[in-house]
Amino acid sequence: MIKKPQIERFWVICPYCGAKVCIYDNTAHASGVYMKCSRNTNCKKEFELKIENGKQII
């Protein structure tokens, strides 16, 4: 059998209100991706998504 790498999934958290926005896995790398918080109706702020070594950088 071929062994598959262990995949963990994490929530992207809005740095302003703490709402869960979307999901990424531990193999993700991202910068320069801008998201708008749409989960909390009072927040709606835009933030940059930065992921290094499978962890969100706030």
pLDDT band, residue 11 (cuts 50/70/90): very high
**pTM score, two decimals?**
0.78
Looking at residue 2, what is its pLDDT?
A: 76
pLDDT, mean of residues 11-27: 93
Task: Check whether 1 has a pLDDT greater than 80.
Answer: no
Q: Could you tell me how far CA 45 lies from the centroid of its own chain?
A: 15
pLDDT band, residue 13 (cuts 50/70/90): very high
- The per-residue pLDDT for range 20-45, each reduced to its tens digit, is 999 999 999 999 999 999 887 789 99
DSSP-derived secondary structure letter, 5: P
Separation between Cα atoms, residue 45 and residue 1, nearest integer Å: 46
Name the residue ranges covered by the structural domains of the chain.
9-57
